[in-house]
Structure 1
Amino acid sequence: MNTITEQTLTEFSQWLADRRVIGASIAGEALYLADGTPTATWIIDLRNRAVTAAAFKVLADSGRKVWCGRVTSTRYTGTHRTVRAEHAGPYAMRLTGQRAEAHSWLWDASTLLHTLRPFSTTDNRWERDPRIDPLGFTATSPADAAVLTARLVTELHTGSPAAARKVALHSCQQQAMWRHREQIGWRVDVDKLRAEIESCYTSKRQLTDEFGIDLVTAATAADRARIHNWLAGYGIEIRDQHGDPTLARNAIDEVNLTDLTSEARDAWWKFRRARSNYSRMAKLLEIKSALQNGRIYTHLQLRATITGRSTSARPALQNIHRDLRGLLIADRGKVLVSLDLSTIEPRIAAALSGDQRLAADIASGDLYTSFARRLWGASASDEAGGIIQEHRDIAKTAMLQTFYGSGSATLAQRLGPDTTVATAQQLIDGLWAAYPQLRSFRDQLNAAARRRRPDPYASGRPSAYSPRGDHAALNIRIQGEAADAFLELSSAALHRLGPRAAWLSVFDELVVEVPEAHAEQARQILQETMCAQINGIPLTGQAQILGAAWRK
């Protein structure tokens, strides 16, 4: 191993000049650089600011890409231990105090992996433990981890089509635009957070008094067994795909309520109320545990789902309750401006399938009203000819849940206790009858999924097949194309506004943070840049100035 010093900088520069893939790993306060063989490894002591700055300049001037995976770090607060995995760029910036521009040479291998191998997001040993290579190589040291990363990147490049490699590199550039925000974090309204947590505890006590049992707390095996035993008393079981008892949200959604007695159905909806309180409390406590001096430092991942949708972790912000969004606030003197693409899933579905009826309903200005009238005809309208709101709400839920790959049991639960599984199935069948070209497109995707040979997305990015079965193929296609479209549009906006304006990307919403005096200009830029057409179907949204706090 070679340690970079002022005396070895020239030798290091010559090593960089050779054409090779360079991997990196960060352990503690040292950066390890290596190629795909363990014969030569360079170490930068990040505590030595002068040498680090000089080495980083050599790296930047070389024009080489250095690939690094996640960095795992541990933080102790009293007796509480937090282990977080984050991108190497923000981690290195916090260690060195340097701006994002100084780390332009550092590229994220995890984003490359997720883009080129989307199926790795469901079973990726390397992502869970960077010492374990999916290719069979196990690292025993930080130097070996750098070698591993170089080997992984080499394999990904040589084993992927040119179009896919181009998209993957572009995705890595898009990921880098968020380094500054990951470095400085997000400001939290701490007083509001405390009040919301206290409110949750109050609701928990009230629910426990009302039900005569604590259905909220599920921290231990005994807690979970108590809840399952209570449900079993009403003939209700919640099991995962292996047949084991679970309280996972997806398994809860799939419970079939058809044969339950009215007493059991009442008990079920009490349970759902309690789980909603649990979910809310868990999110609040997750944010609280991540607080550092009034800020959180969530880890943004632009391609970390099977569809390529963006997520965040520690804490996860993509699933925060909408009425809790106000916990996240702009820095002083700044405001938040956002644009949320409207009805993007149906628009993508219409663009991909070429379904003229769906395109016409989108063009009508109110897709869900048009769909409701296709389902119920004249009975969907009130005496004045307007849509009955309940019918529109049901039509909207039925369409979106079907696009998400939900079956009749899940849809019935989404629509509430008065909806049977048979009624939910009629709604799903009504959707396919209303849009026959979309149904044909679904069937084609299902056939490809069964063959495990789905076509790439329009961008050239590889598509995964779902471990849930071919019924999810339509959702994967829609969400994947929507992810590509949204990332392109949001990147165009951030190129105009500058990456330091990047604040948050959640599903189809881009939120930026700008000085208050520039809010209207930012709103106009979002409105101009985040509009597009795919096969004649417009993707649009309404930009708005949110103010000091995030909200819907």
Structure 2
Amino acid sequence: MTAHRYVKDPAAFQAWLYTKRSLGAGVTKTRMTITDGPDTWSISLENPGVLAKMLHDIGKSGRKVWAASASQAAIRLAKAANVDVGELTWLYCASTAFAVAEPNRIRDDDGAADSAEKRPITSAQTARAALLRIQALASTAMPRVRRAMLESCRQEMQWRKAQLRGWRVDTEFLERELDSRQEILHRAKVEHRVDFLNADSDDGAARIHDWLRGVGIIAQNRFGAPSLSSDDYDHALVPDSLEARVRWREFKRIRSAASRVAKLREIRRSIRDGRVFARYAHHRARTGRGAFSRPALQNIARDLRPVLVADPGFVLVSLDLDQVEPRVAAALSGDATMQADLASGDIYASLAEQIWGRVDAELRNQAKVALLAVLYGRGARGLANQLTIPVNDAEALIAGIWGTYPQLAKYKKELERRDVAKKPGLTHDGRCVSLSPRGEYQALNGRIQSEACGVLYAGVKRALGELGGDAAFLAIHDELVVQVRDADSEHAKRVLKAALTTTLNGVEITGEPVTLGTAWRKA
């Protein structure tokens, strides 16, 4: 490998750029390196003028350069060179491409921009690692997947300005909510003599389990191992007694307060100058959904969302896709009855009518909870816990759904066969579908989530292409939130409506835009 320094021969660097081959980049606190394998070119980040010239040369060449964590690399370069991060569209994210082509092997390599902070590694090493990764993907991925890799990388670029700007925090709201939740935990500790905030330690978890077992409750995961995670509540064994049901509800209430305390503390630790500067990883989850970290923003509870606020003079405008899981399920499965129920305007009322022969508010709610439960891969015990009904009734309700939507049931079994055979296929936008990490029974949910996020991100790209990257605020679950001037809110609503309305296999997917005001909240 031959090492060169840009500052010594910029003309030679320009000529080198125009030779066609893959390029990898690594960025540390002090240096940027670009390599094609045999040759490397590096530059210090301490000379803004020369660095800006090098970045301009790369952009002018029209070449793609791959970095392990391109957002953080781009932000670091933009700061060092005093250039607009939105201009660095030649810097593509190798981690995003990897997530598209290899979702079963996603790993936490928050990468190039801060790798030197984690371990002794040079910018040349991170550049070579990014290059090797993208060369391997280019040689193995199908053309359709390669196109999806590039499109996903362009989607990732739209969130760089938001990460550089950061998200304003309402610190008064944060402290008020934190005090309130901590008081709940304090009272619970005094009353029950258990520290519910200490569930992560072996001793703390054991004490909570002992408290639950005092009334016969076994908190476990689907394998029967002890678990206090909310993801495993459906697998808990709760005796059919008033005392057990009351304690289980109390446990969930207290643990909810504990999780909110942990989240608020995480946000508070991350505040710098009144903002948090979370990092965004596109397609970080196995389903293809993006994720924010340091702090995580995607799992802020709805009642805590007002902790994030718009910049002064701006408002937040949101569009949350309506009934996206049932709509995607109907589109993918081709179930004519399900599609007709969606077209009726209220799929849950239609489902209740078909299962029970009548509909009222309670039956509609049961139908809604049950349909979403089966789409999420929940079983009868979990549904029984959620609706507080006998397991036999939950089994009958689930059977009623599959009987009403037979093509959906057939599609579910087909996905499970594909999952067992380790051939889950591709999404409509060309991304590889992940195998279900929790078993084939989750295959339907995994496919729905993978397709739904593709629908959302395609709409996000269209919306931000119209409004500009400065408008990006959050894309969480099935919702896009943008930040615009108050006078532009009506225009933003029209843009969101047009950009996020689409059809999937003939099924319309849309939502209604809403002006939220200055604080993030559930519309």
Aligned residue among 398, 402, 408 for 2:374:
402
Secondary structure of residue in 2 paired with 1:496: helix
Q: How many angstroms apart in 2 are the aligned matches of 1:194 and 1:140?
A: 39
C-alpha distance in 2 between matches for 1:129 and 1:230 = 46
- Consecutive unaligned residues of structure 2, counting only runs of 5 or more, are none
Alignment partners' CA distance in 2, 1:33 and 1:42: 5
Structure 1 distance, partners of 2:87, 2:114, is: 27
- Residue 207 of structure 2 corresponds to 226
Aligned equivalents of 1:15, 1:165: Cα separation in 2: 25
Residues 1:352 and 2:337 aligned together:
no
Deviation at 1:219, TM superposition (A): 4.8
Matched with 1:383 is none
* Cα offset, 1:220, TM superposition: 3.2
Q: Distance in 2 between matches of 1:118 and 1:247?
A: 27
Matched, 1:107 2:98: no
> Per-residue displacement from partner, 1:395-420 (whole Å, max 9, x unpaired)?
111111211112222223333xx323
| TM-fit CA distance, 1:454 | 1.5
Q: How does 1:187-266 map to 2 (within 5 A)?
A: 187-240=168-221, 244-257=225-238, 259=239, 261-266=241-246
How far apart, in 2, do the equivalents of 1:129 and 1:401 lie? 40
Q: Which residue of 1 aligns with 2:443?
A: 473
**Residue of structure 2 in register with 1:384 after alignment:** none
Letter in 2 for 1:236: I
Return the alpha-carbon distance in structure 1 between the equivalents of residues 112 and 78 of structure 2: 22
Residue 296 of structure 1 and its aligned partner are, at CA, apart by 0.8
Normalising by structure 1, report the TM-score.
Answer: 0.89
> d(CA) in 1 for partners of 2:120 and 2:433?
29
Q: Could you tell me how far 1:460 is from its partner in structure 2?
A: 2.1
Work out whether residues 317 and 514 of structure 2, in 8 Å CA contact, stay in contact via their aligned partners in 1: yes
CA deviations 1:58-107 (Å, max 9, x no partner) are 11111111111138xxxxxxxxxxxxxx6322333344432123322211
**CA 1:230–1:362 in 2, change beyond 3 Å: closer, same or farther?**
same
Pick closer, same or farther for the CA change 1:240–1:399 going to 2, 3 Å.
closer
Which letter maps to 1:119?
A: N
Match of 2:16 in 1: 15
What does residue 326 of structure 1 align with? Answer: 306
Of residues 261, 267, 271 in structure 1, which corresponds to 2:247?
Answer: 267
Q: Which residue of 1 aligns with 2:101?
A: 116
Query: Do the aligned residues in 1 keep the contact of 2:29 with 2:45 (CA within 8 Å)?
Result: no
Shift of 1:131: 12
State the match for 1:76 in structure 2. none
- Can you list the C-alpha shifts for 1:18-59, whole angstroms capped at 9, x where unaligned? 222111222222112222x3x422222112101111110111
2:23 alignment partner AA: I
Distance 1:128 1:413 in 2: 42
Distance 1:317 1:420, change over 3 A: farther
SS of corresponding position for 1:505: strand
Q: In the alignment, what sits opposite 1:444?
A: 414
- Distance in 2 (alpha carbons) for counterparts of 1:275 and 1:516: 38
Aligned residue identity for 1:397: V
1:533 deviation in Å?
Answer: 1.5
State the Cα distance separating 1:209 from its structure 2 match: 3.5
Residues 314-372 of structure 1: per-residue CA shift (max 9 Å, x gap): 22222211111111111011111111110011011111111111111111111111112
1:43 corresponds to: 42
Whether 2:33 is the aligned partner of 1:32: answer: yes
Q: Report the Cα distance in structure 1 between the residues aligned to 2:112 and 2:384, rounded to whole angstroms.
A: 39
Q: Distance in 2 between matches of 1:298 and 1:11?
A: 38
Match of residue 185 from structure 1: 166
Note the 1:351-430 alignment, pairs <5 A: 351-378=331-358, 380=359, 387=360, 389-415=361-387, 418-430=388-400
Q: Is the contact between residue 57 and residue 102 of structure 1 (CA under 8 Å) also seen in structure 2?
A: no
Change (3 A) 1:253 1:313: farther
Two-structure CA RMSD over aligned residues (Å): 2.3
* Aligned mates of 1:367, 1:131 — CA distance in 2: 48
Is the Cα–Cα contact under 8 Å of residues 68 and 112 in structure 2 kept in the other structure? no
Q: C-alpha deviations, 1:127-148, integer Å up to 9, x for none?
A: 689999xxxxx99643222111
Does 2:78 match 1:93? yes
Give the match for residue 66 of structure 1: 65
Contact 2:338-2:405 within 8 A present in 1 as well: yes
State the SS of the aligned residue for 1:395.
helix
- Matches of 1:463 and 1:503 in 2, distance apart? 27
Please give the per-residue CA displacement for 1:242-268, whole angstroms capped at 9, x wherever unaligned. Answer: 7654322223332133x4554333322
Deviates more, 1:495-504 or 1:94-103: 94-103
| 2:6–2:42 contact (8 Å) kept in structure 1 | no
Q: Cα 1:242–1:478, aligned 2, differ >3 Å: closer, same or farther? A: closer
Query: What SS does the aligned partner of 2:449 have?
Result: helix
Which residue of structure 2 aligns with residue 312 of structure 1?
292
Change over 3 Å in CA distance of 1:427–1:139 after alignment to 2: farther
* Cα distance in 2, alignment partners of residues 184 and 65 from structure 1: 25
* Length-normalised TM-score, structure 2: 0.93
Q: Using the alignment, how far apart are the partners of 2:18 and 2:368 within structure 1? A: 57
How many residues get paired? Answer: 518
Alignment correspondent of 1:153 = 134
Q: Which residue of 2 aligns with 1:82?
A: none
- Structure 1 position 311, deviation (Å): 2.0
User: In the aligned structure 2, how far is the partner of 1:276 from the partner of 1:256?
Assistant: 19
Q: Cα–Cα, structure 1 residues 159 and 278, in superposed 2: closer, same or farther, change >3 Å?
A: same
Matched, 1:432 2:410: no
Give the secondary structure class of the aligned counterpart of 1:23: strand
Q: For the residues of structure 1 that align with 2:396 and 2:79, how far apart are their CA atoms?
A: 55
- Partner of 1:525: helix, strand, or coil? helix
Deviations 1:125-169 (A, max 9, x none): 75689999xxxxx99643222111101100011100001100110
Write the distance in 2 (CA, Å) between the matches of 1:129 and 1:174.
Answer: 19
Matched-pair identity in %: 36
Aligned match for 1:482, one of 436, 452, 458? 452
Q: Tell me how far apart the structure 2 counterparts of residues 445 and 242 of structure 1 sit (CA, whole Å).
A: 22
Distance 1:269 1:101, change over 3 A: closer
Contact 1:375/1:430 (<8 A) preserved: yes
CA distance in 2 between partners of 1:174 and 1:125 (Å):
20
Q: 2:321–2:478: 8 Å Cα contact kept in structure 1?
A: yes
Q: What SS does the aligned partner of 1:6 have?
A: helix
Q: What's 2:275 paired with? A: 295
* Segment drifting more, 162-171 vs 206-215: 206-215
